Amino acid sequence: KFLAHKDAVEPRIQAFLSDNRQFALEAAAAVDKKISAGENIADLAGIPGAIKDNICIKGQQATCASKMLEHFKSPYNAAIIDKLMAADYVSLGKTNMDEFAMGSSTENSAFQITHNPWHADYVPGGSSGGSAAAVAANECVWALGSDTGGSIRQPAAYCGVVGIKPTYGLVSRYGLIAFASSLDQIGSFTHDVEDCAIVLNTITGHDVKDSTSIPQEPKDYKKSLVNDVMGMKIGIPKEFFGEGLDEACRKSLEEAMETYKQLGAEIVSVSMPHIKYGIAAYYIIAPAEASSNLARYDGVGFGLRVEGKDIVDMYQKTRSQGFGPEVRRRILLGTYVLSSGYYDAYYLRAMKVRTLIKQDYDEALKQCDILLTPTAPDTAFKIGQNDDNPLAMYLGDVCTVTLNLAGLPGISIPCGYKNGLPVGMQLIGKALDEETLLRAAYTFE
């Protein structure tokens, strides 16, 4: 049923970069067999999903939507893929994204433009736009993405689905192709919070192969699906509700606050004075790490190689033909802020600001259980709108990037519509307190 629906809508949506139906049908048949044999199956077993194309699956493509990795096949599984296999997962294919996860619209893919299922002239958001659109268009039930500065939450908001970025370190990054390692985190897209808990149960857990993975006992996030926020303190950081916020979105969020109040939650106002430096700090730290992580694409180890007259010429040709304009921009920016003489002025300062932002969150979350903010300042924008204005695109990340700088969990859930396009609400939790986030989100939907 899902394959037929996918075939019908995919020419319009263009969410997928690969088609995995052979594997999907075999995996589903294996689950059927287990069921007929009376065996226990996992919650996720046989349920059609999709995987962002920067997550490695042995023997399959992992292009990162880049010409650099167009013909690359992963020799190993990401740690989460092993976990998904143990749960008898079914994936219909790898999904489109901004090249190397750099962008907020999925327009930076080297291969295709993904369309927002609510209106084909609009972007699905990004960088995990393929995964968000695939779920929103009902091509699959769940999908995985990665979130470095909002790449799960923002496309979830634009496409009207649930998207979670767990606490940094809760999900192993082993086998996630690195963009900015201190910010990257894998998470999920689903239609509702219950499905979100099920995917989270499957992909979380300590992994010795990721040194930043947090050692802790696995939790059952389904236990957080409690329809009750009585007495919960919800903080509203006023800095997220300033001038740049669209009025219709503001109204939807205020209605959501009212709903929470009626359900017995207490709404408190909090202040986070350093949030305004979030975009500046993020767009120094993320490119700095990216410039280092992407140094490996040199035409030697793997990926594209364009021959040249000597080795330097080969490097130059490979890297200028393999990377698209946004990735090149980030590498240049990152190399600049890390170079001697500029390191102290840019990178080091950005890292100090990162600490101040983290402290703002620590202070704010002492006064409440979770924070409520917009996921983005507005609903989805038109395809092509920001083509000549990368800065406008960066500024749109203002509500999401600071969570990654602080390592905190965030979930985006739909809270309204503006001109037929979904509005997203972001809930932010304390580190490793996904339970409270899920409970608040579940009660709201």
**Residues labelled as active-site residues:** 52, 127, 151
Q: Residues 107 to 136: which contact ligand GLN by CB under 6 A?
A: 127
- The Cα–Cα gap between 12 and 418 comes to 22
Report in angstroms how near the CB of residue 147 gets to ligand GLN at its nearest: 5
| Binding of residue 412 to ligand GLN (CB under 6 A) | no
| Binding of residue 286 to ligand GLN (CB under 6 A) | yes
Span from 9-17, 148-156, 170-178, 342-350 in contact with ligand GLN (CB under 6 A): 148-156
The DSSP secondary structure of 161-226, one letter per residue, reads: SEEEEPPTTSB--TTBPPSSTTT-EEEEEESSHHHHHHHHHHHBS--TTSTT--------GGGG--
Report in angstroms how near the CB of residue 165 gets to ligand GLN at its nearest: 8
| Binding of residue 104 to ligand GLN (CB under 6 A) | yes
Token pair for residue 121?
């002239």
| Binding of residue 410 to ligand GLN (CB under 6 A) | no
Residues in the chain: 445
Report the residue number, 117 or 163, with the smaller CB distance to ligand GLN. 163
Q: Which of 91, 106, 131, 148 contacts ligand GLN by CB under 6 A?
A: 148
Span from 23-31, 65-73, 100-108, 425-433 in contact with ligand GLN (CB under 6 A): 100-108
- The Cα–Cα gap between 422 and 370 comes to 22
Report in angstroms how near the CB of residue 67 gets to ligand GLN at its nearest: 19
Q: Return the C-alpha torsion angle 95, 387, 382, 249, nearest 10.
A: 90
Report in angstroms how near the CB of residue 346 gets to ligand GLN at its nearest: 17
Give the closest residue to 164 by CA, choosing from 139, 194, 134, 200: 200
Q: Which of 46, 48, 93, 103 contacts ligand GLN by CB under 6 A?
A: 103
Which H or E element spans position 402? helix 401-406
- The Cα–Cα gap between 282 and 337 comes to 12
Q: Which of 102, 133, 284, 428 contacts ligand GLN by CB under 6 A?
A: 102
CB burial of 337-367 (b: ≥16 within 10 Å; e: otherwise) equals: bbeeeeeeebbebbeebbeebbebbeebbee
**CA angle, 315 then 339 then 296, to 5°:** 30
Biggest alpha carbon distance in the chain?
71
Report the residue number, 147 or 207, with the smaller CB distance to ligand GLN. 147
Q: Which residue is nearest to ligand GLN (CB)?
A: 151
Q: Residues 169 to 208: which contact ligand GLN by CB under 6 A?
A: 179
User: Can you tell me whether residue 421 is helix, strand or coil?
Assistant: strand
Span from 73-81, 149-157, 198-206, 298-306 in contact with ligand GLN (CB under 6 A): 149-157
- The Cα–Cα gap between 338 and 349 comes to 11
| Binding of residue 288 to ligand GLN (CB under 6 A) | no
Region label for 345, one of left (φ > 0), alpha (ψ between -120 and 50) or beta (otherwise): alpha
For ligand GLN (CB under 6 A), the number of binding residues is: 13
- The Cα–Cα gap between 146 and 165 comes to 8
Report the residue number, 149 or 175, with the smaller CB distance to ligand GLN. 149
Report in angstroms how near the CB of residue 405 gets to ligand GLN at its nearest: 12
Span from 42-50, 82-90, 116-124, 143-151 in contact with ligand GLN (CB under 6 A): 143-151
User: Can you tell me whether residue 294 is helix, strand or coil?
Assistant: helix
Q: Which of 10, 53, 107, 147 contacts ligand GLN by CB under 6 A?
A: 147
Site string for ligand GLN, 416-445 (x = CB under 6 A): ------------------------------
Span from 66-74, 147-155, 156-164, 228-236 in contact with ligand GLN (CB under 6 A): 147-155
Report the residue number, 184 or 369, with the smaller CB distance to ligand GLN. 184
| Binding of residue 337 to ligand GLN (CB under 6 A) | no
Question: In terms of DSSP H, where are the helices of 227-295?
Answer: 247-262, 278-293
Phi, psi at residue 153, to the nearest 5°? Answer: -65, -40
Q: Which of 93, 117, 129, 150 contacts ligand GLN by CB under 6 A?
A: 150
| Binding of residue 378 to ligand GLN (CB under 6 A) | no
Report in angstroms how near the CB of residue 151 gets to ligand GLN at its nearest: 3
Question: In terms of DSSP H, where are the helices of 300-348?
Answer: 311-322, 325-338
Token pair for residue 295?
């140094």
| Binding of residue 402 to ligand GLN (CB under 6 A) | no
**8 Å CB contact between 405 and 104:** no
Q: Which of 207, 378, 397, 434 contacts ligand GLN by CB under 6 A?
A: 397
Which residues here bind ligand GLN, judged by CB under 6 A? 101-104, 127, 147-151, 179, 286, 397
